[in-house]
Amino acid sequence: MKTVYHKADSRGYADHGWLKSHHTFSFANYHNPERMNFGVLRVLNDDQVASGMGFGTHPHRDMEIISIPLEGDLEHKDSIGTTSVIRKGEIQVMSAGTGVHHSEYNKNKEEIVKFLQIWIIPNKMNVEPRYDQISIKEGEKINDFQQILSPNPDDEGVWIYQDAWFNMGKFDQKTVKNYDLHKPGNGVYLFVLNGSAKVGDQILETRDGLGIWEAENFTIEAGENSELLLMEVPME
């Protein structure tokens, strides 16, 4: 098993006033040749948007874009006719495909929005743009992982054009979990949203990340009152 550890305070950071963003991988003005991606996981941005502010209309193409709100509400509008609000406990996915324009705004006047913006390089290009959004509160598991994304439209969670599986877990007590990878050649990027976790001898705290590959399975020790995100993706 191989690993790469990214401490929270080693991430790139941008403060635009209305937007504060931590970049796990190179993005915009943050460029680190050793932090370009983890397999097909290209972007992992930890964003905070001020009240009444947001991202104006901008284009995307041939990318799977996943948004996971952590606090507050985020309004989404796009060129394929979607207008929606995503909230904590939900996940949104947009396959940009042949091209889509969208905007994201915090419509709240007094509350900030915190959300993860994740980009996955797809395994199929030039697809018809699509959008999906679901609640992940239903069937929420405590002290266990819940699948929130996969390559399969009929499986649990949203789906994307890639052999990727995402799981989230909330742990109110110390818990040991085994994770079996779905596909040979995949790796897993573990991101600690809150609390702590341990894999092997590596201890992770809030907003730390750990990439794991060349492994069929591994064991995670989740700390008390922790929230974890597992992103399994192809490494090539």
User: What is the value of pTM for the model shown?
Assistant: 0.94
Question: Can you give the pLDDT at residue 181?
Answer: 98
Bridge partner list, 142: 170
Question: Can you give the pLDDT at residue 99?
Answer: 92
pLDDT at 102 over 80: no
Give the pLDDT band (50/70/90) at residue 189. Answer: very high
Question: Can you give the pLDDT at residue 55?
Answer: 84
Question: Can you give the pLDDT at residue 139?
Answer: 54
Bridge partner list, 41: 38, 120
Question: Can you give the pLDDT at residue 136?
Answer: 84
Quick check: 51 and 16 in contact, CB under 8 A? no
Q: What is the mean pLDDT of residues 49-70?
A: 89
DSSP single-letter state for residue 129: P
Q: What is the mean pLDDT of residues 60-77?
A: 91
Give the pLDDT band (50/70/90) at residue 6. Answer: very high
Q: What is the mean pLDDT of residues 32-44?
A: 97
Q: What is the mean pLDDT of residues 49-58?
A: 85
CA distance 26 to 160: 22
Domains of the chain as residue ranges with CATH: 12-135 (2.60.120.10), 144-234 (2.60.120.10)
Q: Which of 102-106, 113-117, 139-143, 172-176 shows the lowest per-residue confidence on average (mean pLDDT)?
A: 139-143
- pLDDT tens profile 124-171: 999 999 999 999 865 567 899 999 999 999 999 999 999 999 999 999
Question: Can you give the pLDDT at residue 138?
Answer: 57
CA distance 162 to 205: 29
What are the strands of the beta sheet with 196-199, ordered from one edge? 175-180, 217-222, 196-199, 202-205
Average pLDDT of the chain is 93
